[in-house]
Chains A and B, each alone.
Chain A
């Protein structure tokens, strides 16, 4: 895993720095998606649209060299974001990964229809949204089994569960977390440390 990470980082060093900027949006995106999922919130969807649609248009145009197809990708992707928002699980991966997956799948099916005249929508079989979410993002996979983790997290005190989930599964930074939970940074840090050592203890891990 480490190896891949560094290869990729070398390949795209310039852009990695930019990607830091998107981290600050991360919490907002999660909240908007959640609002769409739970209360079909139009205002939240509008926010998601303004964040993602221009970027999707830009990516699609450079990929498809065709304006109307690129617009089709935007419409189709954003429609799916609305329709599937409740299927997004923030404990299983980042929201940008989820939207990227939808965009990639939509683009793949459109291209395949063009090139092979097939409307078999194979993307859903090659990159299943539900199943892929399940294998995706195992932050502890290096040393702790994912299947135990969730059970163990349930045993932690509520305030520790909260920080662990947000920090490891939603990939918030400690600063974002402090802001999100309206707690001093120091408190977040000590809760995280505590939660982590409890986790290790429960899982029989040695330091």
Chain B
């Protein structure tokens, strides 16, 4: 059962379109797998919509265009044909293993897969500055050395499972970690994750400083 959900705060920002695309996409992936959150999102949307359109003192609106001309223009355009959403599955392949990807990723461009040991990664080319998003695959028996985060790290488990000292995770879990957390995820059977990281990772154990390349690899 999914145990980790986005916090209410995050959902409100999501509903208002105030989050980076990478995070909102993560919430969409989660809510497609979590009835509870998709209902919350629907409820919040309804609520925010009511708030938005119940303002009363907007009579002084000064448009930067000629209202009548715009209405004329708009009402001459053709209605949009009812398009059936194109849900042909998108997929990614790491070392011969192909994973189906969530629908929300269908227009996201992926970078070339790269490998270090049991880790494979494909960057998701969203172009969001210091926020980096990736697909991260851990092969069976693989893991990530203990690390902390300067910023935040959001992990959405898409397939398989992994665990750290805080517990086990299942597909759909929306896991947020920040600088207060240290963890060392390992995956017994292997897994695929969607990750959003706001800053490079810092390895906390002496010997693992040698692993700095992994830090920038995962970021």
Contacts and interface: CB of A to CB of B under 8 A. Distances in A.
Q: Do A and B come from one complex?
A: yes
Contact of A94 (B46, B67, B106): B46
B107 A125 contact: yes
A40 B15 CA distance: 30
Interface string B20-46: 010011001000000000111011111
A127 B79 CA distance: 21
Interface residues of B, number: 54
B116 interface: no
B98 interface: no
Nearest to A93: B46
B112 interface: no
B108 A53 contact: no
Contacts of B39: 1, 135, 138, 141
Interface string B83-124: 001000000000000000001111110000000000000000
From A71, A87, A118, residue with most partner B Cβ within 10 Å: A118
B127 interface: yes
A163 B75 CA distance: 33
Given A21-B56, A118-B126, A42 B71 contact: yes
B64 interface: yes
Given A93-B46, A122-B25, A52 B106 contact: no
> Chain A: interface residue count, which band?
35 or more
Nearest to B37: A4
A191 interface: no
B77 A100 contact: no
A40 to B, nearest CB: 7
B167 interface: no
Contacts, number: 167
Contact of A126 (B8, B82, B104, B128): B104
Q: Could you tell me the dominant secondary structure of chain A's interface residues? A: helix
A40 B44 contact: no
A130 B80 contact: no
A126 B134 CA distance: 17
A46 B209 CA distance: 65
B65 A75 contact: yes
Interface stretch (A77-85, A150-158, A172-180, A194-202): A77-85
B45 A86 contact: no
A87 B75 CA distance: 16
B51 A135 contact: no
Interface string B188-208: 000000000000000000000
A15 B24 contact: no
A18 B53 contact: no
B24 A128 contact: no
Contacts of B180: none
Nearest to B11: A4
Interface in A122-136: 122-123, 125-128, 130-132, 135-136
Contacts of A93: 46
B75 A99 contact: no
B130 interface: no
Contacts of B85: 128, 130-131
Contacts of B129: 115-116
B22 to A, nearest CB: 10
Contacts of A8: 12, 44, 47
Given A21-B56, A40-B79, A75 B46 contact: no
Given A52-B53, A116-B127, 4 more contacts: A21-B54, A53-B63, A130-B85, A138-B42
